[in-house]
Amino acid sequence: MKARVTVTLKSGVLDPQGQAIQGSLKSLGFGGVGAVRQGKVFDLDLGDSDLSQAEANVRAMCEKLLANTVIENYTIEITP
Whole-number Å distance between alpha carbons of 61 and 68:
11
pLDDT in tens, 18-55: 999 999 999 999 999 999 999 999 999 999 889 999 99
- Beta strand residue intervals within the chain, DSSP E: 2-9, 39-45, 72-79
Report pTM: 0.88
| Three-class DSSP category at 43 | strand
> pLDDT, tens digit, for every residue of 64-75?
999 999 999 999
pLDDT > 90? residue 80: no
